[in-house]
Amino acid sequence: MDNISPKSWKSKAGSHLFCPGCGHGIVLKQLGYAIDDLKIRKSVAFGIDIGCSLLSWDLFDCDTIQTHHGRTTSTMVGYKMVKPGRIAIAYMGDGGGYAIGLQALLHAAYRNNPVTVILVNNENYAMTGGQASPTTPVGMVTATSPMGKREKYGMGFHGPELIQSIASKDAYIARTSVFYPGQVKSTIEKAIKNQIENNTFSFVEILSMCPTNWKTNAKESLVTVKEMEKLYPLGEFNGVKEDK
């Protein structure tokens, strides 16, 4: 392994398996650095969803669980109940978290389950060919919206803002972007530390690019992911629910 790869990656991992220019590689590298800095590799259980997320199945040198589509959050909640001393991380895309997996995500937040959920938002179902997802913005051309997504199908799903409305005040909720790799790392570290120190729910949405399905070059991809911030503002979101 090269000397800039996270120590928590497997020595045989080499380069990741994602498409060229995909933002997942940035996220997973920063997650690896966060695990290294916190010195928690041997305590981590890493749950991954079906979709592009599954391509990280053999990346980390820690216990890894491949779940059914949309069941990553609930699987890791169950794991944490059985193994409360472990650090449970659920990794998924916007389709797995905000569509088929939304029920599990919301109830984990509402119950304040002590797991850390990381959701990569690239505004489409990337693994299956670039279909429109809950976060696809109005006007975006996808495989299922060839004339551009129509407004009547939603402006774009705001996950952290919704979770904020039902989560406990001691939950950690944030949105960041691969445009700022250092911020991705620090935000993930905060989310994991919240699970460790406060035994409460943590959620991080990360805006990311998908050059293959967006049909953009490197510069266009970075410009587009920066533009996403207008619809999906970055920051931390405090929960509102008082736990009795």
pLDDT in tens, 202-216: 999 999 999 999 999
Specify the pLDDT at position 3: 66
pLDDT in tens, 49-75: 999 999 999 999 999 999 999 999 999
| Res 1 pLDDT > 50 | no
More confident residue, 36 or 240: 36
Specify the pLDDT at position 239: 72
CA distance 201 to 159: 14
pLDDT in tens, 148-185: 999 999 999 999 999 999 999 999 999 999 999 999 99
Helix axis angle, 181-198 to 24-38, nearest 10°: 50
Q: Roughly how many angstroms between the first and final C-alpha of the chain, as a whole number?
A: 48
Class for the domain spanning 24-236: alpha beta
- The C-alpha angle 90, 93, 126, rounded to 5 degrees, equals 150
- The C-alpha angle 112, 118, 124, rounded to 5 degrees, equals 125
Burial of 191 (0-12, 13-18, 19+ CB in 10 A): buried
pLDDT in tens, 8-55: 999 877 778 899 999 999 999 999 999 999 999 999 999 999 999 999
Helix axis angle, 102-111 to 72-82, nearest 10°: 40
| Helix or strand run (H / E) with residue 46 | strand 44-48
